[in-house]
Amino acid sequence: MDRATDRRLAAALCVALLAVSACRPRESRVQLFEVQVSDLERAVGFYQAVFEWGVSRPDSSYAILEALPVAIGLVKRDSVIAGGAMVVVGVPDLETILRRVVENGGALRNPVGPSWRGRQFTFSDPDGNEMVVWSEESDPNGG
């Protein structure tokens, strides 16, 4: 199987598991974060370009980003209130993701700096939703 097929199968499994676990919760756990967006196509394009996540589209006003093991739901709203829960996305290469954020219309809110266990930065997407990108990698400049 190729990588795209693997992603589609993993996404289908994730969506199925989310549906089953939502109906029959056995323990408390985060399964999905929802982010409000004003332009669903722009938001899907932004997150796919930055993180290379797959996407499922159950309808025209909702998209599920396959950020396994947790999914992120993008909800189309006429009026967006940015903020809410802070999503932290772990990545292997901080600089690549930072470059993609800027290239795709995101805004850097807090520059790359040390975190409790690695390095991180905060950005906002084109709708103003903030997220933290974190990596266990150490500073390549030795700082």
Burial of 115 (C-beta count, 10 Å sphere; 0-12/13-18/19+): middle
Query: Rounded to an integer, what distance in angstroms lies between the CA atom of residue 124 and that of residue 116?
Result: 21
User: What domains lie within the chain, and their CATH numbers?
Assistant: 3-135 (3.10.180.10)
pLDDT band at 94 (very low <50, low <70, confident <90, very high): very high
Q: What is the overall mean pLDDT for the chain?
A: 79
pTM for the model stands at: 0.63
Nearest in space to 92 (alpha carbons), one of 113, 114, 119:
119
Would you state the pLDDT for residue 20? 39
Which comes out higher in pLDDT, residue 137 or 8? 137
Reported as a single tens digit per residue, the pLDDT across 19-31 is: 434 434 445 455 5
pLDDT of 99 over the 90 cut? yes
Q: What are the DSSP E strand ranges found in 53-129?
A: 54-59, 62-66, 71-76, 87-90, 107-115, 118-124
Reported as a single tens digit per residue, the pLDDT across 52-83 is: 999 999 888 899 998 888 888 898 888 877 66
Would you state the pLDDT for residue 84? 63
Give the mean pLDDT of 137-143: 66
